[in-house]
Chain A
Amino acid sequence: MTTAMPLPRLIRLDDYDPVLGSGEVAELRALASHLQGRTVEMVNSTAVGGGVAEILSRLVPILQELGLAIRWDVITGGNDFFEITKAFHNALHGGPYEMPPESFEVFLAYNQQNRARLQLEAEFTVIHDPQPAALIEARRNRSGHWVWRCHIDLSRPNPTVWSFLEPYVIRYDGAIFSSPEFSRQLPIPQYLFYPCIDPLAEKNRELEPELVRATLERYGIDPKRTILTQISRFDRLKDPVGVVRAYQGVKRYLDCQLVLAGGGATDDPEGGAVLEEVRQAAGNDPDIHVLELPPWSALEINALQRGSTVVIQESLREGFGLTVTEALWKKKPVVASAVGGIPTQVIHKHTGMLAHSVEGAAYQIRFLLSNPSIAARLGEQGHEHVREHFVITSNVKRYLTLFLRMLGHS
């Protein structure tokens, strides 16, 4: 005899009413009523892991429920392709590019392969990030509306990689960036779309305190003591070793534990090496918990964030920093470096604390631990800031608005 597993209940648009207010959802329906049946294709490079896949996994069903004919396609490629695109990613963030010249041909060959495989005939095609950027070559006679959604900071790109990509980018009808400072001077319109989180997703929904406590204990973390947490994949740009140093700076004065928890991403071959560096930096300190979490750990991440006293995001470079958004949504006081999209979220002294160095981060953490009422106020205001700008429905609204404008609606 088999036992049928209960099917997970699909999240519907109306489920957002209690969280965001019915007016917000009604507004989406009003906008979408002018886009019924319009075709949209979203293309990116990974189905799981990383902020882009997370956003698309909610954005697509909501747009579908609103009546748009939307599909989401993921490009495929071998390890060689993803090593190259990882090198692109680091180089576009300003790092060196050390791949051989033929890497560009490999990149284009995989894009061509995907061009043959994908439909790419929608009225609105949104290509996410550099990996599939060359798919624009599939466009014939300027048909449809093509938009390049860049989730990374392009303010200081490596010139070799950018000069290769730019000719593709400027063939789009517009480019979307996560912050004005990530954008570049381009001959096409540039739009500002903040990335977002889904407040009803496993990673962000309300949790029973008992579940939070049990999760912490399962990882050997003491729920009764102060917990500092950074949730990020193990990437040098997230400076996990710097976080260990900041924690050590706090620990000189205040008792605390540090949780460094990271998920792997299918397009990140460097993760293992960085994880090893972190373990070495942590040494034998029993209060440092380095957790390598698989991609299906949304609930655990939620619990770790909710159980934290202060959430840290000590990135050296950052796209937008959705882990900051998640922490703010959970009303956590956040100490984060003033890079990338973080200052957009963390308005210093209003919705969190910004730091410009490891020492500064350590000081701000100590300040918040010593002033819990200020920490609580920042958490409340941070939550409102996210509710207004960085939740999935805000992103849906921006896409609907952009599509309407592209169709000439005003």
Chain B
Amino acid sequence: MREAQQPFHFVTASYVTRISDQKATNLCELSRGLDNSSDASVFYHTFQSLSRLHFLTEGFSNDFAQWVLAACNRAQLAEQLAALDIRDYLSLAELRGDLRRILAEYCQANPQHAEQTAFEPFYFCEGIEVTVPLGFEAWTLEAFRDGLERLSHASIYYHFIASRLRLQLRTNDFSLWLSTSIGLDDLAQRANRIDIYTNTLESARAILVGMVEEELSR
């Protein structure tokens, strides 16, 4: 049984949502709101939305796209916003920049829609994070698999999705550990390719556990 150079520390994150004073009632206001909103707000409406509605794989993956479709009835713009993949970003500033660019281009090309009042406002919120260790760690691949099976959805989200921004790498906590601490580069890469948009957190966990078991059976 191969032992890791460093253990994997299982952690969970819990979030309280803070309601900001900003809201948007049309596309222009959404664009302006993005200019003024905090990074925590951009994070909440993009990264965290994947966690909040993780059990739905149809529909849009971030709150901005969902609102543009449901409240503004602008399917094309919604698709463009939804196409932004958080895995491509190392900073929220970059992500915010692309969201703004897409909105600005649409508003410029479609001024008749830009100030049309939405069915319901968009409320900017922020996620306030508290992290705590879960009190168990993995030194081996077996223990890692056992740990994965014990995790809450919030913990999977923290290690597998939110970690991308924290690490400032195009990877996640699980893949990083598999690669750097236990030397399983191929498994790490395959884990990193699990599609977080078309999977629920539960199905992502099942795929990852399956990959680890396959590795263990070799």
Contacts and interface: CB of A to CB of B under 8 A. Distances in A.
B129 A410 contact: yes
Interface string B4-38: 00000000101111110101000000000000000
Nearest to B129: A410
A22 B150 contact: yes
B145 interface: no
Given A23-B152, A181-B121, A192 B55 contact: no
By size class, the interface of chain A is 35 or more
B120 interface: yes
Interface in A345-359: 347-348, 350
Interface in B137-196: 150-155
B150 A31 contact: no
A328 interface: no
A402 B16 contact: yes
A404 to B, nearest CB: 5
A contacts with B: majority SS: helix
Interface in A339-370: 343, 347-348, 350
Contact residues on B (Cβ < 8 Å of other chain), bracket: 35 or more
Contacts of B70: 348
A174 B53 CA distance: 27
Interface in A273-319: none
Interface in B37-56: 52-56
A23 B19 contact: no
Interface of B: 12, 14-19, 21, 23, 52-56, 58-59, 70, 120-121, 123, 125, 128-135, 150-155
Given A21-B152, A23-B153, 20 more contacts: A23-B151, A27-B152, A30-B133, A31-B130, A33-B132, A180-B19, A181-B123, A190-B19, A191-B18, A191-B19, A192-B18, A350-B56, A350-B58, A384-B55, A388-B153, A401-B14, A401-B15, A401-B128, A404-B14, A410-B129
Interface of A: 21-24, 26-27, 30-31, 33-34, 177, 180-181, 183, 185, 189-193, 343, 347-348, 350, 381, 384-385, 388-389, 397-398, 400-402, 404-405, 409-410
23 contacts: A22-B150, A23-B152, A23-B155, A24-B153, A27-B134, A31-B130, A31-B132, A33-B132, A180-B19, A180-B23, A181-B123, A183-B19, A185-B21, A191-B18, A191-B19, A192-B16, A192-B18, A347-B56, A348-B70, A350-B56, A381-B55, A400-B14, A410-B130
